[in-house]
């Protein structure tokens, strides 16, 4: 694979090459019709509705827009625009030619998009229906698995399959195994058999084994899909008569050193392998009511969109910058005021969407394989929703006092817990970041939560266990320098593993299983000669030659 | 590393080179005093109480014997016989020189032994106390973490540490991260900091951060250790005045093709990459009461010990034999009668120990990276405890009818659920194999459980979802041949990942996190050039040269 061009995640329906988004009252249809010539990097054709990162960027965009721009949509049908094939999954030539890091990052993003589909179904009254009108293999079936209801056309040739193991010597990369066992409750021995049959399973057997929900003959297909979509739409709690909020194009400038948006900026230090990220709090107080807030400039939505884009950009394009240092700038009280407006209007569809979007964006941060550090200085606004950045960090530093030689009269840095930290912004493990932090320490949690809405200076914050270290201004620069330099000196792989384990204490969910367990196994397999070596299955696929395996079981 | 010699897991205290086991009434002391020259393979010295597989085989043996041979022991002190050093963890030169598979298998076994220590504490009234009388690094601290109570000598030099990340570019390999966060509830940012400090943390800070339970100055050390051990012993429910059961040497013959014990035999087919394992049911009915059963010849104990040894032997010595096919032979009713004797006497310490040992052995099977197939034929005794072998399998085949041309008058093959399948033999996920099988299908579970004690022929068993396939005698050989040949044609790595995911549906525990998540990340890291390459951290350790890292974050 040639040097990857810089990947850009901003897009919109008018620019889609691979999907068509059509809404018809309460039902939207997302039709996958991949442009074979539209690969995001050169070197492969996207045959048979196979996909690469570019295809998935459009899908992610569509799923987002449906939530914000289409409050009227209550059911989303995902189907194929190609005859006899629903989706062949991730493009194999792309996978075979990609460096390890690209494969892993690609799978992570596709996983997040599938989780986003489930999140829309669970929390947004937009229920996804997979109308599998042809064969769905591998990632194609995994896309269907992310939907609430799976219909398979019953035509004696269409089937669902996970052929990764028999054909490619890898695992399904987008949650397939976990969803088969833990979501659809396919019995483990049947799941095992299914995952070894490259040709897949269709018809009644696919229903009996719970691989799909129904198999529908072609003559009744269109009408049954419409019927089901209407049924799913009827269950929805989406509002009547609401107007959508257009996700206008993000303003972004980017060069090799700096990325800037309206509220977020990132400065890249390639020598230090680090990015300094600063997030601005709102410049003005919140509007009196949500009526005036329904637009993409509304600070909580705007800043979340910028953070989302930045995380994706840095993750994909700046893989050598292993440490991200977060700072904030602004008035903590104003951040809390915005949070309050959102939380007080939780039953409003738009406020609800903004909160869930922030939740998803912070989860993206949690599973980002970068060391995260928060630097809490005078003038910062780590309060409520923005405090989550510090709670997501692997370590946080809060200045004790002020920078005496810069601004001795400044107010000391504070952090403030708000209602936003106590419930809505759950991690993948189902707990808030505060609950995860105090997992197994109920008293510590209670002591911290009691101080809600109280600005906490460094000493208090440290005593309460809300920050890691509280250096004074004499030690400040040195401590942060040492922490980031040290981070840059460690094995990036070992850091990724360490962080993936420590960030998720406590309970497990399907989402943590996918990111923690399944992805780790897949990454291991991706890295083994049996898959990725010159004679491995992934590389030999389609050559007519069989893979050569080292038969040792590990 | 030279070709590994065949590893033998049978040992006994009189042969230990690295441990001393001394009992003094209710308190046993296990003193680690590793023989530097006693490595299990040539090429390294076991300095500073570092360990290799051979050291851990002795530890496992001691933990087992304490449960069976020492009913009087209620607390076990693990300490070091060397000055100033408790244990330096796994030997680095051994790790650096070992092939990938050896490292992974070694970590799996050490994990199982640590889990066994926790199992003794939780279920057997033998509470482990780590008397850390010198520095405990890496696997040394992980050994302490497996104990219920950790005492650290407070002498200004002794510390606990997890230096794997900063020194070796890998993760702690024996559950360290999971136990730090999920058992000891060390706050995630402190855990992160701790895991980057090669020199570790001692004294009061180690207590404050929950890394240890107490720091005790040297002058009060011996007395305080004795005091704590007595306190822990006082909480125990172990019986008074019981006599131990000697774990006499297993009778085993082994050559390149066959391994045999009294009740278990394995035939290795190297061309087919497969092992055929047969387990004999009891030859005679159970004794009238447990009094006559208290010896190592008691069938449930004997067969469990043999299975345990066989699993370890095949796992370690026969890595290319990727599929294990289980058969049983005997009278199902007699198996159930033995189960009943054990279950009716659950309050008896010995019956209790046998059941928990069988539980642990079956868990070992669950985490074994081999495809498991059960072949249920006429004359077999897949009932109760032995049915667990079929429930542990990735697939099971039960003959419908009989082998017409061999023995047309035989009774057809049956399986029988017993009480042993409904509770005591939990997997690592905390569920029974039957619950895991029907995870999310309560009705299916109830329908099966209702048929307890009823011999089920193939059709019934298939309808109830208790087996995978029910071929008749015309298809039997062919189906099993295809299943095993197909298995041998797949990527061993992908199979390992597939099985590791499908075997554990549902809830997660510390144990499943260790085997599923932590081990998968560690295996990935072990396989990366940043650790295991010629310039990687693991290989460069001790050479005076720094590792060279590919800085890309994946």
Please give, rounded to a whole number of angstroms, the shortest distance from the CA of A513 to a CA of chain B. Answer: 8
Residue B469 carries which DSSP code?
A: B
If phi over 0 gives left and psi between -120 and 50 gives alpha, with beta otherwise, what is residue B59?
Answer: alpha
Kindly give, in sequence order, each residue whose CB lies less than 8 Å from that of residue B482, ignoring residues fewer than 6 positions away. Answer: none
Please give, rounded to a whole number of angstroms, the shortest distance from the CA of A488 to a CA of chain B. Answer: 8
Pairing mode of beta strands B127-132, B75-80: parallel
CA distance B369 to A484: 39
Please give, rounded to a whole number of angstroms, the shortest distance from the CA of A304 to a CA of chain B. Answer: 24
Residue among B311, B273, B310 at smallest CA distance from B484: B273
Q: Does B239 touch chain A (CB under 8 A)?
A: no
Q: Is the sign of the CA dihedral A344, A346, A347, A349 positive or negative?
A: positive
pLDDT value for A3: 61
Provide, as residue numbers in chain B, all residues whose Cβ is less than 8 Å from the Cβ of A492. Answer: 530, 549-554
Kindly provide the ipTM of the predicted complex, given to two decimals.
Answer: 0.96
CA distance A321 to A308: 17
> Counting Cβ atoms within 10 Å, is residue A184 exposed (0-12), middle (13-18) or buried (19+)?
middle
Q: What angle do CA A32, A37, A43 make, to 5 degrees?
A: 120
Q: Considering CB atoms only, which of A185, A517, A551 is closest to B492? A: A551
Asked if pLDDT for residue A286 goes beyond 80, the answer is yes
Provide, as residue numbers in chain B, all residues whose Cβ is less than 8 Å from the Cβ of A440. Answer: 182, 185
Lowest mean pLDDT of A55-64, A366-375, A509-518, B466-475, name the range: A509-518
pLDDT digits (tens, 9 = 90+) for A194-227: 999 999 999 999 999 999 999 999 999 999 999 9
Q: A498, B177: Cβ pair inside 8 Å?
A: yes
Q: Does A218 touch chain B (CB under 8 A)?
A: no
Judge contact between A440 and A410, C-beta under 8 A. no
Residue among B53, B47, B34, B28 at smallest CA distance from B174: B53
* 3-state SS class at A328: strand
> Counting Cβ atoms within 10 Å, is residue A243 exposed (0-12), middle (13-18) or buried (19+)?
exposed
* 3-state SS class at B50: strand
pLDDT digits (tens, 9 = 90+) for A169-197: 999 999 999 999 999 999 999 999 999 99
Chain B residue with minimum CA distance to A433 = B188
Q: A187, B319: Cβ pair inside 8 Å?
A: no
Residue A39 carries which DSSP code?
A: -
Q: Considering CB atoms only, which of A465, A492, A554 is closest to B104? A: A554
Tokens representing B179?
């136990």
Q: With bands split at pLDDT 50, 70 and 90, how would you rate the model's confidence at A5?
A: confident
Q: Does A551 touch chain B (CB under 8 A)?
A: yes
Q: With bands split at pLDDT 50, 70 and 90, how would you rate the model's confidence at A2?
A: very low
3-state helix, strand, coil in chain B (%, to 5): 45, 15, 40
Q: Does A271 touch chain B (CB under 8 A)?
A: no
Chain A residue with minimum CA distance to B191 = A502
pLDDT value for B92: 95
Phi, psi (degrees; rounded to nearest 5) at A394:
-70, -30
Q: A492, B554: Cβ pair inside 8 Å?
A: yes
Q: Considering CB atoms only, which of A495, A520, A553 is closest to B369? A: A553
Asked if pLDDT for residue B353 goes beyond 90, the answer is yes
Q: Does B516 touch chain A (CB under 8 A)?
A: yes
Please give, rounded to a whole number of angstroms, the shortest distance from the CA of B129 to a CA of chain A. Answer: 21
How much is the CA Rg of chain B, to the nearest whole Å? 24
Residue among B106, B504, B512 at smallest CA distance from B319: B106
pLDDT value for B346: 84
Q: Considering CB atoms only, which of A188, A196, A549 is closest to B486? A: A196
Chain A residue with minimum CA distance to B171 = A494
Residue among B314, B330, B159 at smallest CA distance from B252: B314
Q: CA separation (Å) from A312 to A272, B322, B484? A: 21, 40, 44
Q: Considering CB atoms only, which of A492, A507, A517 is closest to B520? A: A517
CA distance A186 to A198: 17
Asked if pLDDT for residue A106 goes beyond 90, the answer is yes
Asked if pLDDT for residue B286 goes beyond 70, the answer is yes
Contacting A residues, span 119-178, partner chain B, CB-CB under 8 Å: 164-166, 168-171, 177-178
* 3-state SS class at B140: helix
Q: Does A187 touch chain B (CB under 8 A)?
A: yes
Contacting B residues, span 431-450, partner chain A, CB-CB under 8 Å: 436-441
Asked if pLDDT for residue B365 goes beyond 90, the answer is yes
Asked if pLDDT for residue B1 goes beyond 70, the answer is no
Contacting B residues, span 355-384, partner chain A, CB-CB under 8 Å: 369-370
Q: B491, A530: Cβ pair inside 8 Å?
A: yes
Residue B97 parent element (H or E): helix B92-97
Q: A497, B101: Cβ pair inside 8 Å?
A: no
Q: What is the percentage of chain B residues whose pLDDT exceeds 70?
A: 99
pLDDT value for B5: 83
pLDDT digits (tens, 9 = 90+) for B487-533: 999 999 999 999 999 999 999 999 999 999 999 999 999 999 999 99
Provide, as residue numbers in chain B, all residues whose Cβ is less than 8 Å from the Cβ of A171. Answer: 494, 497-498, 501
> Counting Cβ atoms within 10 Å, is residue A312 exposed (0-12), middle (13-18) or buried (19+)?
buried
Task: Give the mean pLDDT of chain B.
Answer: 96
Q: A188, B547: Cβ pair inside 8 Å?
A: no
Provide, as residue numbers in chain A, all residues whose Cβ is less than 8 Å from the Cβ of B527. Answer: 524, 527-528
Residue A324 parent element (H or E): strand A323-329
Q: B531, A491: Cβ pair inside 8 Å?
A: yes
Please give, rounded to a whole number of angstroms, the shortest distance from the CA of A17 to a CA of chain B. Answer: 28
Tokens representing B36?
């530097």
Residue B4 carries which DSSP code?
A: P
Mean pLDDT of B393-403: 97
pLDDT digits (tens, 9 = 90+) for A422-463: 999 999 999 999 999 999 999 999 999 999 999 999 999 999
Q: Does B15 touch chain A (CB under 8 A)?
A: no
Please give, rounded to a whole number of angstroms, the shortest distance from the CA of A109 to a CA of chain B. Answer: 13
Judge contact between B385 and B425, C-beta under 8 A. yes
Provide, as residue numbers in chain A, all residues whose Cβ is less than 8 Å from the Cβ of B437. Answer: 187-189
Residue A4 carries which DSSP code?
A: P
Q: A494, B273: Cβ pair inside 8 Å?
A: no
CA distance B437 to A282: 52
Q: Does B429 touch chain A (CB under 8 A)?
A: no
Provide, as residue numbers in chain B, all residues whose Cβ is less than 8 Å from the Cβ of A485. Answer: none
pLDDT value for B2: 44
Kindly give, in sequence order, each residue whose CB lies less than 8 Å from that of residue B152, ignoring residues fewer than 6 positions away. Answer: B132, B136, B158, B159, B160, B202, B203, B206, B207, B212, B214, B215, B216
Q: Considering CB atoms only, which of A180, A501, A547 is closest to B518? A: A501
Q: Which residues pair with B456 in a beta bridge?
A: B415
CA distance A414 to A420: 17
Residue B259 parent element (H or E): strand B258-260
Mean pLDDT of A465-494: 97
3-state helix, strand, coil in chain A (%, to 5): 45, 15, 40
CA distance B175 to B173: 6
Q: Does B271 touch chain A (CB under 8 A)?
A: no
Q: A523, B522: Cβ pair inside 8 Å?
A: no
Q: In what order do the strands lie in the sheet with A264-269?
A: A253-254, A258-260, A264-269, A274-280, A323-329, A371-376, A395-398
Q: Does A403 touch chain B (CB under 8 A)?
A: no
Provide, as residue numbers in chain A, all residues whose Cβ is less than 8 Å from the Cβ of B271. Answer: none
Q: What angle do CA A427, A433, A434 make, to 5 degrees?
A: 150
CA distance B554 to B398: 45
pLDDT digits (tens, 9 = 90+) for A299-325: 999 999 999 999 999 999 999 999 999
Residue A258 parent element (H or E): strand A258-260
Asked if pLDDT for residue B3 goes beyond 70, the answer is no
CA distance A472 to B256: 68
Mean pLDDT of A116-128: 97
Mean pLDDT of A334-347: 96
pLDDT digits (tens, 9 = 90+) for B158-188: 999 999 999 999 999 999 999 999 999 999 9
DSSP string of A474-525, one letter each residue: TTHHHHHHHHHHHHHHS-HHHHHHHHHHHT--S---HHHIIIIIIHHHHHHH
pLDDT value for A378: 98
Please give, rounded to a whole number of angstroms, the shortest distance from the CA of B407 to a CA of chain A. Answer: 29
Contacts A–B by Cβ distance under 8 A: 274
Q: Considering CB atoms only, which of B189, B196, B273 is closest to A396? A: B189
Please give, rounded to a whole number of angstroms, the shortest distance from the CA of A489 to a CA of chain B. Answer: 8
Q: Does A89 touch chain B (CB under 8 A)?
A: no
Q: Does B270 touch chain A (CB under 8 A)?
A: no
Phi, psi (degrees; rounded to nearest 5) at B278:
-125, 140
Q: Does A208 touch chain B (CB under 8 A)?
A: no
Tokens representing B33?
């005093």
Phi, psi (degrees; rounded to nearest 5) at B149:
-135, 130
Q: Considering CB atoms only, which of A168, A465, A520 is closest to B517? A: A520
């Amino acid at each position: 694979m040639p040097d990857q061009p810089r990947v850009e995640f901003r897009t919109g329906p008018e620019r889609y090459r691979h999907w068509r988004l059509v809404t018809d009252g309460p039902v939207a249809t997302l039709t996958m019709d991949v442009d074979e010539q539209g690969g995001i990097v050169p070197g492969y054709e996207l045959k048979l509705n196979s996909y690469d990162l570019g295809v998935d960027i459009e899908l992610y965009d569509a799923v987002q827009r449906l939530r914000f721009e289409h409050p009227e949509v209550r059911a989303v049908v995902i189907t194929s625009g190609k005859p006899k094939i629903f989706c062949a999954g991730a493009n194999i030539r792309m996978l075979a030619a990609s460096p390890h890091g690209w494969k892993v990052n690609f799978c992570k993003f596709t996983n997040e998009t599938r989780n986003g589909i489930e999140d829309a179904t669970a929390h947004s009254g937009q229920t996804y229906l997979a109308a599998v009108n042809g064969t769905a293999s591998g990632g194609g079936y995994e896309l269907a698995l992310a939907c609430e209801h799976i219909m398979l056309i019953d035509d004696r040739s269409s089937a669902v399959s996970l052929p990764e193991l028999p054909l490619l010597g890898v695992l399904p990369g987008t949650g397939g195994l976990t969803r088969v066992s833990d979501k659809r409750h396919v019995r483990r021995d049947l799941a095992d058999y299914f995952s070894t049959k490259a040709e897949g399973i269709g018809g009644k057997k696919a229903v009996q084994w719970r691989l799909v929900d129904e198999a529908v003959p072609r003559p009744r297909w269109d009408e049954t899909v419409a019927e089901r979509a209407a049924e799913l739409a009827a269950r929805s709690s989406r509002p009547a008569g609401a107007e959508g909020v257009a996700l206008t194009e993000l303003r972004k400038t980017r060069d090799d050193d700096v990325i800037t948006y309206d509220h977020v900026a990132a400065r890249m230090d390639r020598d230090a392998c680090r990015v300094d990220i600063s997030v601005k709090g709102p410049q003005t107080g919140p509007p009196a009511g949500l009526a005036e807030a329904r637009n993409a400039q509304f600070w909580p939505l705007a800043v979340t969109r910028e953070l989302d884009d930045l995380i994706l950009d840095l993750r994909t394009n700046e893989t050598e910058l292993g440490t991200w240092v977060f700072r904030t700038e602004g008035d903590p009280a104003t951040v809390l005021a915005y949070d309050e407006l959102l939380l007080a209007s939780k039953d409003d569809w738009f406020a609800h969407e903004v909160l869930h979007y922030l939740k998803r964006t912070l989860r993206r941060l949690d599973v980002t394989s970068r060391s995260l550090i928060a630097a809490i200085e005078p003038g910062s606004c780590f309060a409520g929703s923005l405090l989550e950045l510090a709670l997501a960090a692997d370590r946080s530093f809060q200045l004790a006092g002020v920078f005496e030689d810069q601004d001795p009269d400044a107010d000391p840095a504070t952090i403030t817990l708000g209602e936003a930290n106590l419930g809505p912004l759950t991690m993948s493990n189902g707990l808030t970041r505060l609950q995860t932090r105090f997992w197994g320490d109920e008293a510590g949690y209670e002591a911290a939560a009691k101080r809600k809405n109280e600005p906490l200076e460094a000493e208090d914050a440290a005593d309460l266990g809300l920050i890691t270290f509280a250096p004074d201004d004499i030690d400040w620069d040195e401590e942060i320098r040492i922490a980031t330099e040290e981070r840059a000196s460690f094995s990036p792989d070992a850091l990724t593993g360490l962080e993936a384990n420590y960030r998720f204490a406590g309970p497990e969910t399907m989402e943590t299983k996918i990111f923690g367990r399944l992805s780790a196994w897949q990454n291991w397999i991706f890295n083994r000669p049996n898959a990725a070596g010159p004679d491995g299955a992934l590389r030999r696929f389609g050559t007519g030659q069989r893979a050569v395996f080292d038969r040792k079981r590990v």
